[in-house]
A and B are shown apart, each in its own frame.
Chain A
Amino acid sequence: MRVLAAMSGGVDSSVAAALLLDMGHEVTGVTLRLWGGESDSGCCSVADVDDARRVARTLGIVHHVIDDSELFMDRVVMPYIRAHAGGVTPNPCIECNRHIKFGSLLERARRLGYDAIATGHYAKVERLEDDSYVLLRGNDPLKDQSYVLSSLTQDQLRSLLLPLGDMHKSKVREKAASLGLSTAGKPDSLDVCFINSREGRGNFLAKYTDLHEGEIVDSSTGKTIGRVDAVELVTPGQRKGLGLSGGRRYALSVDVAARKVIVGSAGQAYEAGLQLKDITWTTQGRVDEHLGGMRFGATEEGQCTQGRGGEYLDGKRVLVQTSAHGKVRNAMYRDGLVIYDQPERLVSPGQTVAFYSYDFPDMVLGSGIVERGISAEETERQFRQLESSVDISSVDIKPVDTSLVDV
């Protein structure tokens, strides 16, 4: 195959390109230039472009640098800024994967006559007998990156090679060293690539949007117990950086318009479920077929009822993961609503939820973005409404009522 290998300059994508060559593919390297400003590392810096070029030279492959900074600004950076301005904490890496790496780059690769693109993500794409594709967790449990790929669709998986899916990171480094790649010992990049550590998130956002001082309000007493320099920088679930003394207080919600951060005890920082938006399905076919393992026929027709205080909710068993390497939670899903089996620590609006199959826990089903958390009381209410056969999807979702965030 003619493969366009995305090379960030890091060790993973370097080894991915080398493995593709071993497999006999005709490989061309490409590095995206996405950010004109200062950055420490990651996809954007000039130093990383130089690293990628050096690796390509070592491997003896042609390497191109493509500037996609305008689209990156438009689809990743500005939405990130706008989300923060609205008190929402998004995951820019997932948006970059969706719109840039597996969006514009894939389209470009097809225009240029390549059969597939490849990246150094730790996840696997497998082709099924019916010519559909599934996305699976990588073999290295510490490095698995299926979460950040969970928004990919069949059309994207069809043209995607992930050569590192079977490998452990240590083997990847070994392979890099054995090939004499200059990136073999390079540290992993972790942070948002367009924000450099010296500047930090606050200073970065302050360049593009107004940040507002706000009050910290205790959820139980309604009293103001402190102040924050910028409500936009507070993420629900956050404990540190609120400057509060005595007892552990967690940010429960942020109301940018009212310049308020509502805080509560550790016990209050839990929620029963999540209302999601922008749902995408990785697996082929209708939504129902993805859930409860129907494709693989492991449970009774994918239907499942979950008992909760004598009440029953029709839904599908599903596993959800709410951060890149976060724990996997058992839940039920229906029409954009996730109800956990057990209350879970709250997840900030804007974060991505990845769905995995209950029966095949390594298989990605799809993803959604958290619109808001759902309290236990609200869940009860919805159960009651369900009892009177109201479809969940038609339930009128009200804005977060912080007085209800009390588990």
Chain B
Amino acid sequence: MISYLDHAATTPMRSEALEAMMPYLYSYYGNPSGSHSVSRQARDAVEDARQRMALHLGCDPGELVFTSGGTESDNLAIMGVAKARPGKVLCSAFEHRGVLAPCGEVGAILINIDHDGLLDMKHLKSLLDREVSLVSVMLANNEVGTVQPINAIAGLVRTDAPQAVLHTDAVQAAAWMDIARVTSDVGMISVSGHKVGGPKGVGALVIRDGIPYAPLLRGGSHERSRRPGTHNVAGIVGMAAAFDAAAKARDLEHRRVMELRDYFWELLSAIPGIHETAPDHSTKVPGVLSVYFDSLDQQDLLVLLDEQGVCASGGSACSSGAIQPSHVLIAMGYSVTEARGAVRFSLGHTTTREEVVHAAEVVRSAVAQLRGDS
């Protein structure tokens, strides 16, 4: 039996997304930038998807740019603003690497994260001034699941750094939260298709009108020249359908997955030496359960879980697929040793009670084996 508890890495496609995409993988093959009837079919699909995505993200359709995914959206936001308006850049210390890496390139200052996985607002306030051009804080963290007080952050940025653009990486939040409702004061928003049940290789970036932005890619005038390149028509259609389906099922899924996650923790918490990181469930998206085990190597544990069909993840997987201690947990003040014993389980729209029960039993016996008491 496979217990897939890595939905934060990617979640299975929703059937609605697959169905919506199929015609655009074969029948409607037009290039949406053309001027004839075949092109128009494809363009209509892209523009229809844009309108629906704009509703989900709370922006005008013209403010929404289709990209190849979360990492590209993050890069376009950081590099695009840094290029158009050079200045001080701030980002939280536990951003996804899609934000951290470009921020590092433009010499960004890191905003502290507290032990509960929430942004240190005092530190943010102390860093804000008229020189700040960009602030990037993720909406929900990918490893521990904590949701940042983005409205309060937006308010602080508006008063203390009026020149600054606020960007949020909402890639992990999109599966669980009504983005339009919570990000109305945010200038730029990144989302990804496959984290909400759409296909991989497609995402979107909201760039509100008036925001200083210089494109990174040069070429055609697609996406109002903000992101040239022929559209991934089927991907865009699939993403929009996935967002529709996720929005429709949100309340139900939210409650169901939260109950499963809490039940899973109830089962796991019986294991000696297990601790939950960011243990306050009220601050987290429902799908994520991040734990660490005393004196245990996450790499050992993940190998044993994999052998028994339990899919979970450690820190950030690097390009070679190996696991390194999580920079997220380090930013939250956990020791390297604690971070080395950390495992993230993430549940999603397809998770069942059987998977959770199976996974808990496998984790229990794997930990016992590694501790030598099996």
Q: Give the interface of A toward B (CB within 8 A).
A: 31, 33, 46, 49-50, 53, 62, 64-67, 69, 108, 111-113
B320 lies within 8 A of A111 (CB): no
Contacts of B323 in A (CB 8 A): 67
Dominant SS among interface residues on chain A: mixed
Is B303 in contact with chain A by the CB < 8 A criterion?
Answer: yes
How distant is A198 from chain B, measured CB to nearest CB, in Å? Answer: 20
A111-B370, A113-B369 given; A33·B300 CB < 8 A: no
Provide a sorted-by-A list of 14 A–B residue pairs whose CB atoms are within 8 angstroms.
Answer: A33-B320, A46-B320, A49-B320, A50-B320, A53-B321, A62-B306, A65-B322, A67-B318, A67-B323, A67-B324, A69-B322, A108-B297, A111-B369, A111-B370
Task: Return the chain A residue nearest B302 by Cβ.
Answer: A64
Contacts of A67 in B (CB 8 A): 299, 318, 322-324
How distant is A103 from chain B, measured CB to nearest CB, in Å? Answer: 14
How distant is B186 from chain A, measured CB to nearest CB, in Å? Answer: 34
Contacts of B324 in A (CB 8 A): 67, 69
CA distance A49 to B317 in the complex (A): 13
How distant is B196 from chain A, measured CB to nearest CB, in Å? Answer: 28
Task: Return the chain A residue nearest B372 by Cβ.
Answer: A111
Q: Give the interface of B toward A (CB within 8 A).
A: 297, 299-300, 303-304, 306-307, 318-324, 369-370
How distant is A31 from chain B, measured CB to nearest CB, in Å? Answer: 8
A66 lies within 8 A of B320 (CB): no
Contacts of A65 in B (CB 8 A): 320-322
Contacts of B297 in A (CB 8 A): 108
Most A CB within 10 A of own CB, among B300, B306, B307, B321: B321
- Extra contacts, 6 of them, besides A33-B322, A49-B321, A69-B322 (Cβ < 8 A), are A33-B318, A62-B306, A65-B321, A65-B322, A67-B322, A108-B297
Contacts of B369 in A (CB 8 A): 111, 113
Most B CB within 10 A of own CB, among A49, A62, A111, A113: A111
A46 lies within 8 A of B319 (CB): yes
Task: Return the chain B residue nearest A47 by Cβ.
Answer: B320
The 10 closest A-B pairs by CB, nearest first: A67-B322, A33-B322, A49-B320, A65-B321, A65-B322, A46-B320, A33-B320, A46-B319, A66-B299, A64-B303
Task: Return the chain A residue nearest B296 by Cβ.
Answer: A111
Partner pick for A112 among B304, B318, B320, B322, CB 8 A cutoff? B304
CA distance A31 to B303 in the complex (A): 13
Partner pick for B303 among A49, A50, A69, A112, CB 8 A cutoff? A112
Most A CB within 10 A of own CB, among B304, B318, B369: B318
CA distance A111 to B307 in the complex (A): 14
Contacts of A111 in B (CB 8 A): 300, 369-370
Task: Return the chain A residue nearest B319 by Cβ.
Answer: A46
CA distance A69 to B299 in the complex (A): 13
CA distance A258 to B265 in the complex (A): 63
Contacts of B307 in A (CB 8 A): 62
Contacts of A46 in B (CB 8 A): 319-320
CA distance A108 to B319 in the complex (A): 22
Contacts of B300 in A (CB 8 A): 108, 111-112
Task: Return the chain A residue nearest B317 by Cβ.
Answer: A65
Contacts of A53 in B (CB 8 A): 321
Task: Return the chain A residue nearest B336 by Cβ.
Answer: A70
Contacts of A113 in B (CB 8 A): 369
Contacts of A69 in B (CB 8 A): 322, 324
Task: Return the chain A residue nearest B315 by Cβ.
Answer: A67
CA distance A50 to B321 in the complex (A): 9
Most A CB within 10 A of own CB, among B297, B303, B307, B320: B320
Most A CB within 10 A of own CB, among B299, B304, B306, B322: B322
CA distance A110 to B322 in the complex (A): 20
Task: Return the chain A residue nearest B369 by Cβ.
Answer: A113
Contacts of A64 in B (CB 8 A): 303, 306
How distant is B49 from chain A, measured CB to nearest CB, in Å? Answer: 35
A66 lies within 8 A of B322 (CB): yes
CA distance A50 to B306 in the complex (A): 20
How distant is B266 from chain A, measured CB to nearest CB, in Å? Answer: 28
Task: Return the chain A residue nearest B304 by Cβ.
Answer: A112
Contacts of B318 in A (CB 8 A): 33, 67
How distant is B201 from chain A, measured CB to nearest CB, in Å? Answer: 20
How distant is A147 from chain B, measured CB to nearest CB, in Å? Answer: 29
How distant is B294 from chain A, measured CB to nearest CB, in Å? Answer: 15
How distant is B227 from chain A, measured CB to nearest CB, in Å? Answer: 28
How distant is B160 from chain A, measured CB to nearest CB, in Å? Answer: 37
Contacts of A33 in B (CB 8 A): 318, 320, 322
How distant is B52 from chain A, measured CB to nearest CB, in Å? Answer: 39
CA distance A53 to B321 in the complex (A): 10
Contacts of B370 in A (CB 8 A): 111
Contacts of B299 in A (CB 8 A): 66-67, 108
CA distance A50 to B322 in the complex (A): 12
CA distance A50 to B299 in the complex (A): 19
Contacts of B320 in A (CB 8 A): 31, 33, 46, 49-50, 65
How distant is B366 from chain A, measured CB to nearest CB, in Å? Answer: 9
Contacts of A66 in B (CB 8 A): 299, 322
Task: Return the chain A residue nearest B320 by Cβ.
Answer: A49
Task: Return the chain B residue nearest A64 by Cβ.
Answer: B303
CA distance A279 to B318 in the complex (A): 38
CA distance A113 to B365 in the complex (A): 13
How distant is A171 from chain B, measured CB to nearest CB, in Å? Answer: 30
Contacts of B303 in A (CB 8 A): 64, 112
Most A CB within 10 A of own CB, among B299, B303, B307: B303
CA distance A49 to B322 in the complex (A): 10
How distant is A100 from chain B, measured CB to nearest CB, in Å? Answer: 14
Task: Return the chain A residue nearest B299 by Cβ.
Answer: A66
Contacts of A112 in B (CB 8 A): 300, 303-304
Task: Return the chain B residue nearest A31 by Cβ.
Answer: B320
CA distance A67 to B300 in the complex (A): 11
How distant is B363 from chain A, measured CB to nearest CB, in Å? Answer: 15
CA distance A67 to B306 in the complex (A): 17
Task: Return the chain A residue nearest B298 by Cβ.
Answer: A67
CA distance A67 to B317 in the complex (A): 10
Task: Return the chain B residue nearest A32 by Cβ.
Answer: B322
Task: Return the chain B residue nearest A53 by Cβ.
Answer: B321
Task: Return the chain A residue nearest B366 by Cβ.
Answer: A112
Task: Return the chain B residue nearest A113 by Cβ.
Answer: B369
Contacts of B321 in A (CB 8 A): 49, 53, 65
How distant is A70 from chain B, measured CB to nearest CB, in Å? Answer: 8
Contacts of A50 in B (CB 8 A): 320
CA distance A31 to B321 in the complex (A): 10
